[in-house]
Homo-oligomer: A and B are copies of this chain.
Amino acid sequence: MQLARVIGSMVSTRKCDRLEGLKLLVAVPIDMDTFREKGSPFITVDTVGAGEGEIVMWAGGSSSRQTDLTTNKPVDSSIVGIVDFVDIEGKRVYSKGQET
């Protein structure tokens, strides 16, 4: 899985029926070397109540459909967790609410 920051949302009224009711968010990849944004934004489905600005974990491909909300739906990216802490080599490199 990869980390990303939620930066926005998308609205589509004419869409595949199976997508009805799903919250479509815009996220941008977070590089875990620097915890900065790196790469182009993408569309992902929220399954955990993520809010704008939060750093989240997302799963891609068929794995993104392994949630109750996304089963059999044409989504290839889902947010599956909100990140509280990341520790690398014994150091806390990220702690939710304490970003600088």
**Which residue of chain B has the shortest Cβ distance to A8 in the bound complex?**
B88
Report the separation of the CA atoms of residues A88 and B37 in the bound assembly, to the nearest whole angstrom: 14
Residues of A bordering B, CB below 8 Å: 1-3, 7-19, 24, 26, 31-33, 38, 40-44, 47-49, 52, 57, 59-68, 72-78, 80-89, 93
Query: CA–CA, A76 to B66, complex, Å?
Result: 10
Give the distance in Å from the alpha carbon of A17 to the alpha carbon of B67 in the complex.
8
Asked if A2 meets B48 with Cβ closer than 8 Å, knowing A74-B78, A76-B59, the reply is no
Docked Cα-Cα span, A31 to B26, in Å, equals 12
A2-B43, A3-B43 are known contacts. Are A18 and B66 too (CB-CB below 8 A)? yes
